[in-house]
């Protein structure tokens, strides 16, 4: 097999996707990395001398530019690891040029901190008609988290009732304040209202207002905050027996204190302000001050732990099941010169793309990862760096 892949976005995740695709030359025989700033693509490509990686500049907000690049390189698929703002333009360009698509975060309009799948699900018929596939949200969460749920549904439950996705970063990057993925997207995500699914409807709560300690494997208890996370939307649609679905993420006190101060002074705002005669968006200015997520890897210690706890029925009996991955930041650095959050996103993106290119996950239309057969992914993901563990019973991570 010999497939050409175009990777868009030369940030923390882009670096991992390029390196992981380069480790599988039997599938990804030609790789191009394109991003807004070509120098960042060149820096990544030059750091992987063992692979031949082409680079290009592209403004992924601009469909004609994307179409020209795709027509010149002629990839079999595009892996979009730029920002969620670019999802629709890249999908439009894929439709126009006839190539498959994968991303790791759902579309968000730039002027409103609101993410939902409706915009991308609306492409379903157009992708089907063209015989193309779009796989949405194939990072860790979203992505691998939903594949865990699909695996649980297939192998462990007759009916799933309660789902808690638990996401812990117990790492230390040594900076007073930094975000592990794009700061703008990260801060927009956690400063919006929290939301969870219960008994057929969304319950909205003030941001970060529900929290409790959750026990993470090999880490111990960590204060975890209920957030809205995009995979909840597709999971409750695809597994309608779920009565309650929640997403929890850990934050340290230092991080929360910085965030509160920044919110109070208005520097996390997405509303434009006038500054010295020109318009700026405070959160974009803040992003320019913060460390790049891709730069945090070298001295990052500790590990991440992301898993799904599910309660439901098997053979007429109650069952509680927990499946998770722990990833050490230093292992991520050793494999890909990356920190654990970029790594846990980029590895599933490569494997999802590989399964698409091999025809194992290939079907025309727009899909979320839990709609794919979980078995081939679960068989291979450990080989590429993210092995999983499971336990039955109520040992971890929290009591109901
Ligand atoms: P970074 O900010 O490190 O990288 C984003 C890259 O996209 C940068 O190189 C940036 O270019 C480029 N970019 C931005 N706008 C454009 C544009 N208009 N045209 C071309 N390139 C553009 O972010 P991350 O690598 O941390 O995150 C990448 C994606 O992964 C995000 O969508 C994020 O939400 C998602 N993610 C998903 C996770 C999951 O588990 N599913 C977890 C973590 C992240 P420049 O440097 O020039 O600004």
Domains, the chain, in order of start with CATH, read: 3-136 (3.40.50.720), 144-335+378-392 (3.30.360.10)
Q: Is 90 in the pocket of ligand 1 (CB under 6 A)?
A: no
Q: Is 161 in the pocket of ligand 1 (CB under 6 A)?
A: no
Ligand 1 centre to CA of 21 (Å) is 17
Ligand 1 centre to CA of 105 (Å) is 9
Total residue count of the chain as it appears in this document: 400
Question: Do residues 349 and 13 make contact, with C-beta atoms less than 8 angstroms apart?
Answer: yes
Q: Is 84 in the pocket of ligand 1 (CB under 6 A)?
A: yes
pLDDT value at residue 394: 67
Which helix (DSSP H) or strand (DSSP E) does residue 320 occupy?
strand 317-328
Q: Is 81 in the pocket of ligand 1 (CB under 6 A)?
A: yes
Q: Is 140 in the pocket of ligand 1 (CB under 6 A)?
A: yes
Q: Is 166 in the pocket of ligand 1 (CB under 6 A)?
A: no
Ligand 1 centre to CA of 61 (Å) is 13
Which helix (DSSP H) or strand (DSSP E) does residue 337 occupy?
none
Q: Is 73 in the pocket of ligand 1 (CB under 6 A)?
A: no
Ligand 1 centre to CA of 253 (Å) is 26
Residues 6+ apart with CB under 8 A from 197: 203, 232, 236, 242, 244, 245, 246
Quote the CA–CA distance of 315 and 114 in Å, as a whole number: 40
Residue with the two structure tokens 């003030």 = 206
Phi, psi at residue 296, to the nearest 5°? -85, -10
pLDDT value at residue 285: 94
Which residue's C-alpha comes closest to atom 1 of ligand 1? Answer: 11
Ligand 1 centre to CA of 35 (Å) is 9
- Mutation test residue for ligand 1: of 36, 290, 291, the one with most atoms within 8 Å of CB: 36
pLDDT value at residue 329: 97
Strand 201-205 relative to strand 194-198, pairing: antiparallel
Ligand 1 centre to CA of 180 (Å) is 11
Ligand 1 centre to CA of 319 (Å) is 39
pLDDT value at residue 298: 86
Q: Is 11 in the pocket of ligand 1 (CB under 6 A)?
A: yes
pLDDT value at residue 59: 98
Q: Is 145 in the pocket of ligand 1 (CB under 6 A)?
A: no
Task: Show the tokens assigned to 83.
Answer: 């920002």
DSSP 350-368: HHHHHHHHTTSS--SEEEE
Q: Which residues of the chain have pLDDT under 50?
A: none
Ligand 1 centre to CA of 3 (Å) is 24
Quote the CA–CA distance of 11 and 13 in Å, as a whole number: 6
Question: Do residues 145 and 234 make contact, with C-beta atoms less than 8 angstroms apart?
Answer: no
Ligand 1 atom with least separation from CA of 294: 3
Ligand 1 atom with least separation from CA of 62: 18
Question: Do residues 297 and 267 make contact, with C-beta atoms less than 8 angstroms apart?
Answer: no
Ligand 1 centre to CA of 14 (Å) is 7
pTM of the predicted model as reported, rounded to 2 decimal places:
0.95
């Amino acid at each position: 097999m010999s497939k050409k892949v175009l990777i868009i976005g030369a940030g923390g995740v882009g670096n991992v996707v390029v390196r992981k695709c380069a480790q599988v030359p039997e599938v990804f025989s030609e790789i191009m990395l394109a991003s807004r700033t070509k120098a960042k693509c060149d820096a990544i490509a030059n750091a992987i001398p063992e692979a031949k990686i082409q680079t290009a500049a592209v403004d992924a907000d601009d469909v004609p530019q994307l179409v020209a690049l795709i027509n010149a390189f002629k990839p079999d698929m595009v892996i979009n690891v730029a920002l969620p703002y670019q999802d629709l333009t890249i999908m439009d360009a894929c439709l126009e040029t006839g190539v498959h698509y994968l991303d790791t975060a759902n579309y968000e309009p730039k002027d409103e901190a609101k993410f939902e799948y409706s915009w991308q699900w609306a492409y379903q018929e157009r992708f089907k008609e063209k015989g193309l596939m779009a796989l949405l949200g194939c990072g860790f969460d979203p992505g691998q988290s939903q594949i865990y749920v699909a695996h649980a549904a297939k192998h462990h439950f007759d009916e799933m009732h309660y789902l808690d996705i638990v996401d812990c970063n117990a790492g230390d990057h040594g900076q007073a304040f930094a975000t592990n993925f794009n700061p703008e997207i990260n801060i927009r995500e956690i400063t919006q209202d929290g939301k969870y699914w219960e008994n057929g409807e969304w319950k909205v709560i003030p941001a970060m207002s529900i929290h409790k300690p959750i026990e993470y494997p090999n880490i111990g208890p960590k204060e975890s905050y209920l957030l809205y996370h995009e995979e909840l939307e597709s999971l409750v649609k695809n597994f309608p027996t779920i009565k309650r679905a929640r997403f929890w993420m850990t934050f340290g006190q230092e991080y929360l204190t910085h965030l509160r101060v920044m919110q109070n002074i208005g520097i996390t705002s997405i509303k434009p302000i006038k500054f010295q005669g020109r318009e700026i968006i405070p959160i974009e200015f803040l992003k320019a001050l913060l460390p790049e997520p891709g730069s945090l890897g070298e001295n990052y210690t500790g590990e991440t732990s992301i898993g799904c706890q599910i309660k439901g029925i098997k053979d007429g009996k109650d069952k509680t099941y927990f499946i998770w991955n722990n990833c050490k930041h230093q292992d991520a650095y050793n494999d890909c010169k990356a920190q654990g959050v970029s790594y846990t996103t980029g590895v599933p993106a490569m494997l999802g793309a590989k399964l698409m290119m091999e025809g194992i996950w290939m079907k025309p239309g727009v899909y979320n990862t839990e709609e794919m057969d979980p078995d081939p992914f679960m068989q291979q993901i450990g080989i590429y760096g993210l092995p999983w563990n499971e336990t039955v019973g109520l040992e971890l991570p929290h009591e109901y």
